[in-house]
Amino acid sequence: MTNAPSSSSSQQPGYEPAATPPQVTARRTLLQQTLRDTFTRPGARIGVVWITILATVGIFAPLLANSAPLLIKEKATGAISSPVLSTLRPSDITLAVIYVVTITLLLWKRFSLGQSIVMILAAGLLAFLPSFLLIKSQDAPVYERYRLNEAAGQYEWVVRTIVPFSPNDRVNDVSGTKLKSPSGRHWLGTSIFGEDVLSRMMYACRVALTIGLISTGIAVTIGIFVGGLMGYFAGVFDLLAMRCIEILEAIPRLILLLIITVFFGRSLYLMMTVIGLIGWTADARFIRAEFLRLRNLDFVAAAKALGLPLRSIIFKHMLPNGIAPVLVNASFSVAGAILLESTLSFLGLGLGAEDPSWGQLLNQARSGGTGFNWWIATFPGVAIFFTVFSYVLIGEAMRDALDPKLRKRE
Binding stretches for another protein (CB under 8 A): 3, 7, 9-10, 12-20, 43, 243-244, 246-256, 258-260, 262-265, 335, 339, 342-343, 346-347, 349, 359, 362, 365-366, 371-372, 374, 377-378, 380-382, 384-385, 388-389, 392-393, 396, 405-406, 408-410
Geometric angle at alpha carbon 95, from 94 and 101, rounded to 5°? 90
**Any residues with CB less than 8 A from the CB of 35 and at least 6 apart, and which?**
398, 401
Least CB distance from residue 263 to another protein, whole Å?
3
For residues 3 and 32, which CB has a smaller minimum distance to another protein in the complex? 3
For residues 196 and 396, which CB has a smaller minimum distance to another protein in the complex? 396
For residues 174 and 353, which CB has a smaller minimum distance to another protein in the complex? 353
- Whether residue 337 contacts residue 215, with contact meaning beta carbons closer than 8 Å, is answered with yes
Least CB distance from residue 27 to another protein, whole Å?
23
How far apart CA 282 and CA 280 sit, in angstroms, is 6
Amino acid at 233: F
Least CB distance from residue 355 to another protein, whole Å?
17
Q: Name beta bridge partners: 71.
A: 159
How far apart CA 190 and CA 166 sit, in angstroms, is 12
270: closest CA among 221, 338, 214, 217?
A: 214
Q: Name beta bridge partners: 65.
A: 163
Burial of 68 (0-12, 13-18, 19+ CB in 10 A): buried
For residues 46 and 158, which CB has a smaller minimum distance to another protein in the complex? 46
Least CB distance from residue 66 to another protein, whole Å?
28
Least CB distance from residue 385 to another protein, whole Å?
6
Least CB distance from residue 213 to another protein, whole Å?
18
How far apart CA 382 and CA 250 sit, in angstroms, is 31
386: closest CA among 46, 106, 22?
A: 46
For residues 66 and 387, which CB has a smaller minimum distance to another protein in the complex? 387
For residues 62 and 350, which CB has a smaller minimum distance to another protein in the complex? 350
